[in-house]
């Protein structure tokens, strides 16, 4: 059965959308794919979290939908206005798809939409980091052209043990004009 897939930037969430997002987030956390949380947080905490996310000027929330229902999200984080030296780069963070919506190409679509938005805003580099235990996410990022540039051996504590984390970067093409590698001085 083919599913209807969509990823869009959210500027506001209805109560129903927020409930779906909270459910998907807790499901991802339980499966080990949440974004830093190790235990389900419950609706009240997650509503505050996402409500706050929508208020931060340097953050953009993207929601992934399958058959019209929110099943995941990601955030694009831009440098603050006073960080002119790093204004060319942005960060993809807090990306996940609920376990019941995986395997249909939605994660790939979500990352592509974040990349498109970052490039449209003028960013030429997109950075991200991920726990070494999240092998499916690592495979996706590497398949989409992200280059691992480093590993932190003491990145996080999960399931009672310390795990490493990998850092990735990807050059984004503006779609017109000079190529990114020439623009930022990479040979």
CATH code: domain of residue 136: 3.40.630.30
The per-residue pLDDT for 173 is 83
Q: Dump pLDDT digits (tens) for 49-64.
A: 999 999 999 999 999 9
**Cα within 13 Å of Cα(174), Cβ side:** 15
Q: pLDDT value at position 184? A: 58
* SS3 of residue 102 by DSSP: coil
Kindly list the averaged pLDDT for each block of 10 residues, start to end, along the chain of length 187.
Answer: 94 97 96 82 94 96 98 96 92 96 96 96 96 94 98 93 96 69 58
Tokens of 162: 């310390």
- Within 10 angstroms of residue 147's Cβ, the number of other Cβ atoms is 11
Q: Can you give the pLDDT at residue 34?
A: 65
Angle at 103 between CA 2 and CA 31, to 5 degrees: 135
State the pLDDT at residue 159: 84
Number of structural domains in the chain: 1
| Of 22, 96, 28, 104, the residue nearest 62 (C-alpha) | 96
Give the C-alpha distances (Å, rounded to integers) separating 115 from 1, 15, 63, 154, 155. Answer: 28, 28, 14, 28, 25
- Could you tell me the residue range of the domain that residue 121 belongs to? 5-183
């Amino acid at each position: 059965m083919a599913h209807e897939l969509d990823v869009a930037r959210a500027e506001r969430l209805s109560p129903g959308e927020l409930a779906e997002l909270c459910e998907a987030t807790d499901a991802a956390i339980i499966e080990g794919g949440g974004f830093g949380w190790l235990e389900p947080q419950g609706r009240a905490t997650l509503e505050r979290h996402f409500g706050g996310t929508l208020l931060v000027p340097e953050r953009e929330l993207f929601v992934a939908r399958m058959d019209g229902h929110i099943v995941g999200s990601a955030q694009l984080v831009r440098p603050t206005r006073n960080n002119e030296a790093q204004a060319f780069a942005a960060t993809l963070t807090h990306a996940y798809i609920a376990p019941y919506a995986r395997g249909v190409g939605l994660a790939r679509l979500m990352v592509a939409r974040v990349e498109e938005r970052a490039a449209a805003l003028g960013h030429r580099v997109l950075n991200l980091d991920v726990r070494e235990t999240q092998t499916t996410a690592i495979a996706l990022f590497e398949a989409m052209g992200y280059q691992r540039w480093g590993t932190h051996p003491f990145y996080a504590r999960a399931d009672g043990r310390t795990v490493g984390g990998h850092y990735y970067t990807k050059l984004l093409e503006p779609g017109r004009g000079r190529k990114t590698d020439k623009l930022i001085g990479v040979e």
